[in-house]
Structure 1
Amino acid sequence: MALRWGIVSAGLISNDFTTVLCALPRSEHQVVAVAARDLSRAKDFALKHDIPKAYGSYEELAKDPNVGVDDTVSVLLQYPGGVHGTFTCSISTKLPNVASVSGTKGMVQVFPSWCPTNLVVNDEHKEFPLPQVPKKFNFMNGSGMRYEAIHVRECLRKGLKESPMIPLAESELLAEILEEVRKIIGVTFSQDRR
């Protein structure tokens, strides 16, 4: 039985994710609707990807707040035992897009940190090429989103309500960290004023 997907937003990342979904077997993944704040954009997106339904608001498809973007953000995370983590992201500065973990026994680097295809452990390099998809993506390694879709389907077929790889508690923790960063840098959304 196919997993039926509803796409929230008709933007570039949604385009890449939908391109991946459409390249997967239809017997397993079907995109059945798209929502955008502008109905004409949703209709254009639906036509481009052969999606049967287009909606002019996110609420028609699912409850989902608008999001904002900050130019450049650096965050220092403090964990028990004196462990620290940092990350920096920017839409105006070209950054190396590498995630690294350093400790007493060496260093691990994963890159690009969005959908990694390279792993370096103590100077030993391994590469994991992504499958090719006939359509063009807007972002680097967009075809890697296929693994998210495949994993969601596997979990649902097993009757799981959450992924054992990324359990709900981990997703909630990440959301809490991002929410705290958003508050610290002063990003507010319209629903914050309600």
Structure 2
Amino acid sequence: MRTTRTLLLLSVRQQRRPDSPCDCIVPEGAMALRWGIVGAGMVSEDFTNALNFLPSSSHVVAAVASRSLTSAKDFADRFAIPVAYGSYQDLARDPDVDVVYLGVIPPPHLEVISLMLRSGKPVLCEKPLCVNAKETRQVINLAREKGVFLMEGIQGRSAPVYHQLRQRLQEGEIGDVRQVIVNQGWPAQHLPKISEKGQGGGISLKYGTLSVQLVSFVMNGDKPTTISAAGIINQNGVDVATGVTLVYPGERMATICMSATCKLPCDALIVGTKGTIKVNAPMWAPKSMDTPSGIFEVPYPDLGKPLNFNGTQGFVYEAEEVRRCLKNGLLESPNVPWQESITISEIMEEVRMQLGVTYDQD
């Protein structure tokens, strides 16, 4: 019987695609990949727990940085991290950090990603990569120019269910895709990170990537021909409930419902000419899906620690994917290609523009 760790390792053995070589290569037989954590918030806690679950011969947390040295030291104490910094610049200069995980709120993503890339640090950035499409293109162009790895953190893309979903779609198990229906929602409009514009709030910016990326995944990264959006805007000028319709070439369509005002099933239906696949909740980091040939399920590992967010056990797959990419000299992960990050950001920006939701970065 395969263990959880065996399944995890099997899930990241994929074909390398011919990307440009990355300067930051992990050589065969190298020591553990040394991570620097940027941001001492809840998502960084979950990612650090995932790294600590993985073998220490492959991944270690070498340092943490926060704008507050007190916060960084507290985080370091809780997770036994040897070095704490009170500035992101100090972590960028640390020669003992091989790769950076960025877990701060969206508004400073452009600044911090650029800092790390210019310092030669590969970056895994929690979604969204940046606030808008202009900034997303800017950091991707910088990564290309500097020859440094960059990946948007969409953890489900590296998990077994998504790999199996891609295979079944390519093999035509449900025929030609005609409709994708995605819903995502839970009561959260009271939280500053959702309700306040300065925090990068709004359901579309904060969590919309999770829904749009699944549609984009099924649609092979194609751009929609039509985008239609409507929603509910709060007193701070950000959306707390949004509906989106996307029309694609080839008689394909997607509908997305996102809400911070009520609980939704958080699953997805992919409807084809021969059948339907249901990606079970949470659809952004699923452990199972219902298919015409039966249920496909790979339980996530038990990290042995309480987690802040649903599905973040999937960070183990994401971390392993980053190591695989660096070992093979890739600038981008085939699981989350740069062009697809741009397409997703373009869709989300158009949705916001139709809703009338803008940020200082726009």
Please indicate the TM-score interval, normalised by the length of the shorter structure.
0.7 to 0.9
* Residue 52 to residue 67, structure 1, CA distance change in 2 (3 Å): farther
Matching residue within 329, 332, 354 for 1:184? 354
Q: Which amino acid aligns with 2:71?
A: R
1:69 pairs with 2:240: no
- Find 2:344's aligned residue among 140, 158, 174: 174
Any idea what SS the aligned residue of 2:317 has?
helix
The answer for unaligned runs of 5 or more in structure 1 is none
CA root-mean-square deviation: 2.4
Q: Match of 2:263?
A: 94
TM-score w.r.t. the length of structure 2 is: 0.48
1:11 aligned partner, one-letter code: G
1:125-140 aligned at under 5 Å gives the runs 125-140=295-310
**Correspondence 1:42-61 to 2 at 5 A:** 42-56=72-86
Higher strand share: 1
Count of aligned pairs between the two proteins: 192
Write out per-residue CA displacement over residues 128-183 of structure 1, whole angstroms, 9 at most, x where no aligned residue: 11111111111223212100000110111011111223222122212222233233
Does the C-alpha gap of structure 1 residues 58 and 185 become closer, same or farther in structure 2, counting only changes over 3 Å? farther
Change in CA separation of 1:53 and 1:184 when aligned onto 2, cut-off 3 Å: farther
Q: Which has the higher contact order (CA 8 A, sep 6+)?
A: 2
Aligned mate of 1:141, from 294, 311, 314: 311
Sequence identity of aligned pairs in percent?
A: 46
- Indicate the SS of the match to 1:16: helix
Q: TM-score, normalised by structure 1?
A: 0.85
Partner of 2:64: 34
CA contact (8 A) 1:72 1:91 kept: yes
1:153-172 equivalences in 2 (<5 Å): 153-172=323-342
Alpha-carbon spacing, 1:179–1:79, altered in 2? closer, same or farther (3 Å): same
What residue ranges of structure 2 are gaps of 5+ in the alignment? 1-30, 93-110, 114-129, 131-198, 204-239
Shift of 1:17: 1.2
- For residues 13-54 of structure 1, give each alpha carbon's deviation from its aligned partner in whole angstroms, at most 9, with x where no partner exists: 221111001111222112233334444333322221122344
Note closer, same or farther for the CA distance 1:189–1:59 as it changes in structure 2 (3 Å cut).
Answer: farther
Secondary structure of 1:77's partner? strand
Q: C-alpha displacement at 1:59, in angstroms? A: 6.4
- The answer as to whether partners of 1:110 and 1:118 remain within 8 angstroms in 2 is yes
Q: Work out whether 1:23 is the aligned partner of 2:156.
A: no
Cα distance in 2 for residues equivalent to 1:40 and 1:92: 34
Letter matched to residue 79 of structure 1: Y
SS of the residue aligned with 1:63? helix
Post-superposition shift, 1:102? 0.6
Cα deviation, residue 83, structure 1: 1.4
